[in-house]
Amino acid sequence: MSHLFQTYGRWNVEIKEATGSWAVDTNGKRYLDFVQGIAVTNLGHNHPKVNQAIKKQLDQVWHVSNLFENELQEKAAEKLATNSSGDLVFFCNSGAEANEGAIKLARKATGKTNIVTFLDSFHGRTYAGMAATGQDKIKMGYGPMLEGFHYVPFNDPEALLACEVDDIAAVMLEVVQGEGGVNPAEADFLEAIQAFCDKHQALLIVDEIQTGIGRTGTAFAYEQVGLDPDIISAAKGLGNGFPVGAVIGKKALGDAFSPGSHGTTFGGNMLAMAAVNATLDVIFKEDFLSEVKSKGAYLLSKLQEVKQLSIVKEVRGKGLMAGIECHQPVGDYITALREEGLLVLPAGPNVIRLLPPLNVEKAEVDQAIEAMIYVLSNEKVEV
């Protein structure tokens, strides 16, 4: 019997080793990994620069409390501030914890209560993360929820502008909803969000936990859509697999997070910071990010071939975050793809989500497309 709580519907596969885009299971079967720990190992598995940085730090010092000055944290924070609309960074350990911090910061800085978020959003599994999430299934059985969260349909500017909530501390948004089905926000909706924030003097929180750290072809996805967030939450790809999260905020919010107002024991841990610095040194480079953009465009162009299949309704995405929406549930297709040697994920019942490493080879994209065309056109797959 397993002594683990059965919170995950696990696949019947155990990965023993992995390098770059490839993972090998305990039976020696090789997989092209377009999951990458769910947008975590953005540089692929076992990246030499990140490995080297962690190994070096391992022999120096792992952890000291946040009572000490910490140059590694300063360096990592500077990289995040230089590459975002924010100036100040708080390090934590996960995406949900970053969103928790973002919501606390917004409420404390504004002195206001309400947070507007969107249907089908996903912001994590803590109480604030669940409350912010616009999906009932995430909250079932865990009530009462944290108060003060209001949900508006996604990509519906009229519904947002008609929202009559007052005392709004912040609007919280994913630029491309990840877990909710790889849904990019549309331009008129984004304009309405910025106007709504201005009208209510509400802060804009952009949850870049899945879309950030180069995933969509820029350091953060909001850059491509003309937003100016006050707070950004990041995690997942930030440490290329080392658990770490960050709340990034504008300088004006600095007083709200004064000494003693927020904290976490492990936040900014030195091994995590070594991983973050090495990861960002590779990803936050113009050449690297423009390659991600061009590979993303290549992936989306190749997906047009998949779109021709009768079960496919739509293909969409931004950069190297893509979704294939089908006319039917995709669970059995995902299993069949895995058997063919391609690891992909669902996003909601009908969407296959692709999250290749940012340094994926075009030949690997071709291989994945070939597997998808083979499996998705196979009527024998039981659905």
**Stretch near ligand PLP under the rule CB under 6 A, chosen from 67-75, 91-99, 149-157, 342-350:** 91-99
Q: Are 90 and 247 in contact (CB under 8 A)?
A: yes
**Stretch near ligand PLP under the rule CB under 6 A, chosen from 157-165, 205-213, 271-279, 352-360:** 205-213
- Binders of ligand PLP among residues 160 to 179 (CB under 6 A) are 174, 178-179
**Stretch near ligand PLP under the rule CB under 6 A, chosen from 5-13, 74-82, 94-102, 332-340:** 94-102
Site for ligand PLP contains 100 (CB under 6 A): no
**Which residue has the closest beta carbon to ligand PLP?**
95
Shortest gap between Cβ of 302 and ligand PLP (angstroms)? Answer: 24
Shortest gap between Cβ of 121 and ligand PLP (angstroms)? Answer: 8
Shortest gap between Cβ of 362 and ligand PLP (angstroms)? Answer: 26
Site for ligand PLP contains 94 (CB under 6 A): yes
Residue (124 or 357) nearer to ligand PLP, CB: 124
Shortest gap between Cβ of 332 and ligand PLP (angstroms)? Answer: 23
Q: Are 24 and 15 in contact (CB under 8 A)?
A: yes
Shortest gap between Cβ of 334 and ligand PLP (angstroms)? Answer: 17
Distance, C-alpha 309 to centroid of its chain: 29
**3-class DSSP string for the chain:** CCCCCCCCCCCCCCEEEEEECEEEECCCCEEEECCHHHHCCCCCECCHHHHHHHHHHHCCCCCCCCCCCCHHHHHHHHHHHHCCCCCEEEEECCHHHHHHHHHHHHHHHHCCCEEEEEECCCCCCCHHHHHHCECHHHHCCCCCCCCCEEEECCCCHHHHHCCCCCCEEEEEECCEECCCCCEECCHHHHHHHHHHHHHHCCEEEEECCCCCCCCCCCCCHHHHHCCCCCEEEECHHHHCCCCCEEEEECHHHHHHCCCCCCCCCCCCCHHHHHHHHHHHHHHCCHHHHHHHHHHHHHHHHHHHHHHCCCCEEEEEEECCEEEEEECCCCHHHHHHHHHCCEECEECCCCEEEECCCCCCCHHHHHHHHHHHHHHHCCCCCCC
Site for ligand PLP contains 235 (CB under 6 A): yes
Residue (151 or 369) nearer to ligand PLP, CB: 151
Q: Site for ligand PLP (CB under 6 A): which residue of 36, 210, 216, 279?
A: 210
The residue with tokens 């059995």 is 332
Site for ligand PLP contains 333 (CB under 6 A): no
Q: Site for ligand PLP (CB under 6 A): which residue of 33, 100, 120, 207?
A: 207
User: Measuring CA to CA, which residue among 284, 302, 309 is closest to residue 354?
Assistant: 302
Residue (83 or 121) nearer to ligand PLP, CB: 121
> Count of residues binding ligand PLP (CB under 6 A)?
15
Residue (102 or 271) nearer to ligand PLP, CB: 102
Shortest gap between Cβ of 343 and ligand PLP (angstroms)? Answer: 16
Identity at 264, one-letter amino acid code? T
Site for ligand PLP contains 99 (CB under 6 A): yes
Site for ligand PLP contains 36 (CB under 6 A): no
Residue (124 or 134) nearer to ligand PLP, CB: 124
Site for ligand PLP contains 42 (CB under 6 A): no
Q: What dihedral do alpha carbons 21, 27, 28, 33 form, nearest 10°? A: -10
Site for ligand PLP contains 209 (CB under 6 A): yes
Rounded CA-CA distance 104/377 in Å is 48
Site for ligand PLP contains 230 (CB under 6 A): no
Q: Taking CB under 6 A as the rule, which mask of x and - marks residues 114-133 in contact with ligand PLP?
A: --------xxx---------
Shortest gap between Cβ of 17 and ligand PLP (angstroms)? Answer: 24
Binding site for ligand PLP (CB under 6 A): 38, 94-96, 99, 122-124, 174, 178-179, 207, 209-210, 235
